[in-house]
Structure 1
């Protein structure tokens, strides 16, 4: 099972959910949405290990679609094979340098959850 949280503008939720159902057709899909705040939970299930590559490709398409409408997609629950193929947090762009500096200041010995945050910080 894969659970992803998508954050988009509330006005984009309806159109996004319609497109999700087309893109994710090879899998069993459950969608839960908080239309008022633009949070959409997407649960993909009933896939086999051989479909992990297809699943990663599907989620990458969704992540790109979400980025085009100025949102983000985070993998909250995913099998290790999928986590090895894609970043659970997605891209952070120019903010990575600032995040790295903050992490270095607050945790100079890198003992607080090493490698568990964005881009392995």
Structure 2
């Protein structure tokens, strides 16, 4: 009975969880972008450390098999380990609306598609 009551309570509270939240502020968006960049950098660091560990294990394996007198195949050629370097985040510059690219293309701005001749003169007379 308690399990059913708990399930019903969770189902009754579910619509509250789907309430529409206000859009995040510019500061919150900037913090989210920086957090995402830091997470991506952390993933690169983790991949770099994994690559180094795999290289150490492979070197130890080849060393031990040579010491045991066994023959091994040559190691498979792979991409080297690339150090991602220290974390550096530069906040993207906020562009004003005039330079955001929402306007006409540059060609249309320098040479408008309109002509100086009236539309009536361009049409042939019947």
Of the two, which has the highest radius of gyration? Answer: 2
Same-fold status (TM-score > 0.5): no
TM-score of Structure 1 vs Structure 2, range by shorter chain: under 0.3
